[in-house]
Amino acid sequence: MQTSTIQLLGAGGFGCIIGWYVYYINRYRKGDVQLSDLVTVLGVIGGGSVLALFKEGTDLFGAYGIGLFVGFFAYFLVLIFLVGLSKNFNADWFLDGRRMKPKGDYYIPDEVRATTGAMRANTDDADLNQ
């Protein structure tokens, strides 16, 4: 069965978003592999299952996989680019997150919320309410 260009673009774009999100959500994770990692698995193969709603034998699976690759590694390339651009980070940030301490005229205003990862959102909210 033939698929239209718009269907291919849709499947590819869908994979691209999932790939970007999979990198983002796993970037902050440090603990044991656990059931919540199922989110990633669902992202990678669950997306393929969504494509199973369409007729089998089409190239939507291929478009989804290519989109997933593009989104995932685009996030990684953007990280490399931003780390290379910044004077506060070096490539060793990829190992353990090390960075330069702010010094001189830098300060963090009290009203600015700390940067947080998706998996820590509830914890931080709880901290804010205390």
Partner 1 sequence: MNEAPIFTFSYLGATGIGLVWGWWCFMRFSASKGKLLNRLIILVYTMGVIGMTYWQVGGLASLILLLAACGAAFFHYMWRQYLQKKYL
Distance, CA of 15 to CA of 57 (rounded, Å) = 18
Residues making contact with partner 1 (CB under 8 A): 15, 19, 22, 26, 29-34, 37, 40-41, 44-45, 48-49, 51-52, 56-59, 61-70, 72-73, 76, 90-92, 94-95
Q: What type of residue is 19?
A: G
What is the token pair recorded at 122?
Answer: 């509830």
- Helix (H), strand (E) at residue 20: helix 5-27
CB of 82 to partner 1, least distance (A): 17
Strand positions, DSSP E, the chain? none
Q: Are 84 and 33 in contact (CB under 8 A)?
A: no
Residue 91 or 128 having the CB closest to partner 1: 91
Contact of 44 with 18, CB cutoff 8 Å: yes
> Is 48 or 124 the residue whose CB approaches partner 1 more closely?
48
Q: How far is the CB of 62 from partner 1 (least distance, A)?
A: 3
CA-based angle 36:79:94, to the nearest 5? 70
Q: Which is nearer to partner 1, 59 or 124 (CB)?
A: 59
Shortest distance (Å) from residue 19 CB to partner 1: 6
CB of 35 to partner 1, least distance (A): 9
Q: Which residue, 84 or 125, is less far from partner 1 as judged by CB?
A: 84
